[in-house]
Structure 1
Amino acid sequence: MENAMKVTGLRKVFNQHTAIEDVSFNVKRGEIFGLLGPSGSGKTTTIKILTGELLQTSGDVKVLDFDIAFFKTPDFKSRIGILSDNSSLYDRLTVYDNLKLFCKLYDAPLEQIDVMLEEVNLKDARNKAVSKLSKGMKQRVLLAKALIHKPDLVFLDEPTSALDPGNIAHIHRGLQKLNEAGTTIFITTHDMEEATKLCDRVAFLDKGRIQELGNPNALRYKYSTHAFHVETFDDKRLVIENERENADEIKELIATGKVKSIQSDNPTLGQIFLKITGKELV
């Protein structure tokens, strides 16, 4: 599959502090790729380089077949959408008028406004001034803004960080629908449940370096002990190794009706990250 993005040996230094070091990965067209890590790991620095907001110290970057020298051109910017910590809205304007302004900027049809307001669950707030919105509602308007012109590739930096579970689920459905229509999505998050649900592949970033990369379920299998965790009705919790000689023990537990629950050992992405780096994802 053709790459939407290829990053090789990326490095960024700020005043003798190395924010990212030797970062390499590719993002395939049509996939959802997650860059995962705790605050301060280098996620935002990476996304700012990929969108042309920062220049790298060294390394090669190509996005949608554009070299980094062309990231500030209208042609490049018209093909990407960005939700980052620098994204902003006009507080005095209504939600609708903010999105109308960006429709004109990107030459998108005005009919797209109501489509996007539906996607981010804000149709009832279309005539509210942005200054009157909660933080979570503003976050959803910013997401609508990033997607209003149907970009080929969208960069989402912690897109659901201020949202409640109901709206997170709504946004996730919208992003999956967008991806199914062909949009490539690059997402940074420290929410491992979100990454497991959405991403085709993830990269773990810590101390400015990629520590692991792969499909979420493949990584969970890779780091699994493959043991069975059994809870019995008398509140015992057993860990039984997945070995041939233990088959009779499991069979006996099931046959005598003692098993309350049984599951294989598949660690979460958060547990894998902790094992690799020694850090919690906070």
Structure 2
Amino acid sequence: MGARIEVVGLTKSYGDLRAVDDLTFTIEPGEFFGLLGPNGAGKTTALEMIEGLRKPDAGSVSIDGHDPWRRDPRLQRRIGVQLQSSAFFERLTAREQLVTFASLYDAPAERADALLAEVGLEDKADSRVEKLSGGQAQRLSIACALVHDPEIVFLDEPSSALDPQARRNLWDFLQGLSGSGRTVVLTTHYMEEAEVLCDRVAIIDHGRLLELDSPAALVRGLDAPTRITLAPEAIDEGAAREVGGVDEVTVYPDRIELSTRRPAEVLAELARRDALHGLSASGASLEDVFLQLTGREYRS
């Protein structure tokens, strides 16, 4: 299972806009790979070129030595694609939709029922697709991408429109896909999702690759302080500023937050002062890395 994907100098322009600018990276067989970036960064354009849905202006994509743009049926049968927005056959039920997709690949119809259960749509099997909610349609779209049991799976923002419970269930399902040896390529705006699922992530902006590494390695390289949060009654602002190792104190209506690069020292002092009420501590996250690399300005 799985496949090696090589992207070399991938470039795509629309008029004066360079949507993807000389992207180069490799995805290893069986890897869960994330492609991250703000709105308009070029993620979807890059993904569509890797999938073979869009022709590059320059550069190349190779999936186990095959060019996906050539539409080789032998390669296409190995690929499953979930698009950012999907269109279904009208007036079909969820199960009929999946059975139709399965028939295109000569996959057994029984696969449809198994997938409906796996994506939590068993009770919607006989519902017409136009009656599904946004989140249910998203899960059906993912099932359609997997109905022929592909080795390589491309997922473009699969958890958008899902509520927190459905998103967590989807993560469990996707981790199972990766655990079975498939190569999975994901775009997402949820940094926690990328941290949980991805072996490595590529962060891009303005079509260019900014960083590529595992989420943990990227977070370690940020050298960000630890944030220690306490209930407001645990310690007052003046006393908090006297704690050795504290670099910054921020007071909010419902909490007090201490920033430090020496968390063990600070926590030990707080314990000595019996000031641990409401304690929580958090280090840097992939979101912090993302914001440092791409900025905080609004993107349309």
TM-score (normalised: structure 2): 0.85
**SS at the partner of 1:41?**
coil
CA contact (8 A) 1:10 1:59 kept: yes
Between the two proteins, the alignment pairs up a number of residues equal to 276
- Tell me: CA distance 1:39–1:238, structure 2 relative to 1, closer, same or farther (3 Å): closer
Q: CA deviation at 1:63?
A: 1.4
Range 192-201 or range 84-93, more displaced: 84-93
The list of structure 1 runs, each at least 4 consecutive aligned residues, that deviate by more than 6 angstroms after superposition, is none
Q: CA deviation at 1:268?
A: 2.0
Range 217-226 or range 196-205, more displaced: 217-226
CA contact (8 A) 2:225 2:284 kept: no
Q: CA deviation at 1:227?
A: 4.7
- Tell me: CA distance 1:240–1:130, structure 2 relative to 1, closer, same or farther (3 Å): closer
- 1:188 matched to 2:187? The reply is yes
**In the alignment, what sits opposite 1:137?**
136
What letter corresponds to residue 238 of structure 1 in structure 2? L
Unaligned runs of 5+ in 2: 241-256
Q: CA deviation at 1:115?
A: 1.1
**Separation of aligned partners in 1, 2:217 and 2:35:** 16
**Separation of aligned partners in 2, 1:277 and 1:109:** 45
Q: Which of 263, 270, 273 is the aligned partner of 2:281?
A: 263
**In the alignment, what sits opposite 1:110?**
109
**Separation of aligned partners in 2, 1:253 and 1:10:** 53
Alignment of 1:198-237 (within 5 A): 198-227=197-226, 229=228, 231=230, 233-234=234-235, 236=240, 237=257
**Separation of aligned partners in 2, 1:212 and 1:137:** 34
Q: Which of 274, 277, 281 is the aligned partner of 2:294?
A: 277
**Separation of aligned partners in 2, 1:118 and 1:160:** 17
**Separation of aligned partners in 1, 2:297 and 2:142:** 27
**In the alignment, what sits opposite 1:56?**
56
Q: CA deviation at 1:186?
A: 0.2
Alignment of 1:73-84 (within 5 A): 73-84=72-83
Q: Deviations over 1:94-134 (max 9, x none)?
A: 11111111111111111111111011100011111111111
**SS at the partner of 2:18?**
strand
CA contact (8 A) 1:38 1:281 kept: no
**In the alignment, what sits opposite 2:262?**
242
**In the alignment, what sits opposite 1:87?**
86
Question: What percent identity do the matched residue pairs reach?
Answer: 38
**SS at the partner of 2:217?**
helix
Provide the aligned C-alpha RMSD in A: 2.2
Q: CA deviation at 1:149?
A: 0.9
What letter corresponds to residue 183 of structure 1 in structure 2? R
**Separation of aligned partners in 1, 2:223 and 2:214:** 14
What letter corresponds to residue 271 of structure 1 in structure 2? D
Q: Deviations over 1:242-280 (max 9, x none)?
A: 39xx94x6533323322343636x322222111122136
TM-score (normalised: structure 1): 0.90
**SS at the partner of 2:47?**
helix
Unaligned runs of 5+ in 1: none
